[in-house]
Amino acid sequence: MTKPIKSQSASRPPVDALQYEKLALSAFDFCDRQLSQLNTLITLASSICRNPPITSDERRRRQIMLELLVDTAEQYRQDLENDRELFQVIALDAKGVSQARLTASHATRLLAEASKLASGSQPTANVAKRKRTPAKTASIVKTQTQQTVAVRH
């Protein structure tokens, strides 16, 4: 006995596969940027926690607030990693690659390659990039934190 196939709503046209893939890759890149920012935030807050203020009252208040900041940032990072996995599935589905044939590292490599191709094929006039003044600092911190942050697969 087969189940009836639900027809797509007439109010919305079907999504072009190329646009679907670009959307998923864009979301995947968004998660990477957010993870980088959160790693920078966690590194900053952790270093402040290691160097507390002089008075005991200031030290206690600052320590409590920074511990809450670190906990919050780590939770945000975990949520983004989960969203990133979802976006990986969407992007791979859009590319027509079955998950059963992929390892996590192979899937990440495929998406990284597709992301580079997608960003390289877009006209630069249509892409508005934000200027990031602390880009060098963020890249240094990102490099340092990537060595210590565990990656979940």
- The pLDDT tens digits of the residues spanning 61-115 come to 888 888 888 888 888 888 888 888 877 777 777 677 665 566 666 767 777 777 7
Output the average pLDDT for the chain.
Answer: 67
pTM of the model: 0.42
**Cβ distance 70 to 46 under 8 Å?**
yes
Enumerate the domain spans of the chain: 17-120+134-148
Q: Is the dihedral of CA 84, 147, 136, 122 positive or negative?
A: negative
Rounded Cα distance between 106 and 112, Å, is: 10
